Amino acid sequence: MKAMILAAGRGERMRPLTDSVPKPLAAVAGRPLIAYHLDNLARAGVVEVIINLAWLGGQIREALGGGERYGVRIRYSDEGDHALESGGGIFNALPLLGNEPFLVVNADTWTDLPFGELSIEPDADAHLVLVKSPAHLPKGDFGLDGARVVVRDSERFTYTGYGVYRPELFAGCAPGKFPLYPLLTRAIAAGRLRGHVYGGEWYEIGTVQLLAEMDARLRARGSA
């Protein structure tokens, strides 16, 4: 299975740090945040990783190169000066991702989730990894009815930014900037979105404060 790391965003909530450093290269315990994902993907047996680029993308390309030091082969999907959002970014990378299901990982997160355990059901267009909503994201995103992802107002879980997708999820899309959420709700309406709740560690690192907390957490456990 190929994987895509979403790394093109501007990181507005992490300014001024991200004025000069792209968010995926922000240091956590002495390593770029994105390096933890690359290590995880390599352990899962993923050979080919696509990374989308926009804001300060040249720095990411220079830092990671072809991926040899991480045991993967990296290819880049360049979106130019302006990121295409999650939906548009994945759609833009479909020629590199191919016709089979692929894994998507948001760069601005940290997890101990073994990516090799993820799969997708035959009757699903996507399978999402959800978690119990953390204190700073109390509203959550989706509900679950068994393994079926549903839209509801209560008992909602937070989408981690990790999922296995089929290219068919993007049927009818046109090139350009667009979000992923409407495609997921379309799949929900068709009964073709699945998911599960992960009980391990997951952290959304969207602010400088959360970055500092993650850095301290990993240093304390000697993960540098």
Give the chain's domain count: 1
- Of residues 205 and 17, more confidence is placed in 205
Assigned domain for 224 exists: no
Contact 179, 87 (CB under 8 A): yes
Instruction: Name the residue among 105, 182, 184, 179 with its Cα closest to residue 150.
Output: 184
With cut-offs at 50, 70 and 90, classify the pLDDT of residue 223.
low
Q: What end-to-end distance do the CA atoms of the chain give, in Å? A: 28
Cis status, amide bond into 182, omega within 30 of 0: no
Contact 55, 149 (CB under 8 A): no
DSSP of 159-213: EEEEEEE-GGGGTT--SS---SHHHHHHHHHTT-EEEEE--S-EEE--SHHHHHH
What is the model's pLDDT at position 112? 94
Render pLDDT for 63-96 as a digit per residue (tens, 0 to 9).
999 999 999 999 999 998 889 999 999 999 999 9
In the chain, which ranges are continuous DSSP H helix?
33-43, 57-64, 85-97, 181-189, 208-220
What is the model's pLDDT at position 13? 78
Mean pLDDT of 107-131: 96
At 77, is the secondary structure helix, strand, or coil?
A: strand
Assigned domain for 134 exists: yes
Assigned domain for 166 exists: yes
- Of residues 211 and 46, more confidence is placed in 46
With cut-offs at 50, 70 and 90, classify the pLDDT of residue 134.
confident
What is the model's pLDDT at position 192? 97
Q: Domain residues for 152?
A: 3-216
With cut-offs at 50, 70 and 90, classify the pLDDT of residue 44.
very high
What is the model's pLDDT at position 153? 85
Assigned domain for 106 exists: yes
Mean pLDDT of 92-114: 96
Assigned domain for 223 exists: no
In the chain, the percentage of residues whose pLDDT exceeds 70 is 99
Residue written as token pair 């792209």:
22
Helix axes 57-64, 33-43, angle to 10 degrees: 50
What is this structure's pTM?
0.93
Assigned domain for 221 exists: no
At 145, is the secondary structure helix, strand, or coil?
A: strand
With cut-offs at 50, 70 and 90, classify the pLDDT of residue 19.
confident
Helix axes 85-97, 181-189, angle to 10 degrees: 80
CATH code of 135's domain: 3.90.550.10
Q: Does residue 138 have a pLDDT over 90?
A: no
Per-chain mean pLDDT for the chain:
93
Instruction: Name the residue among 196, 32, 213 with its Cα closest to residue 136.
Output: 213
Assigned domain for 92 exists: yes
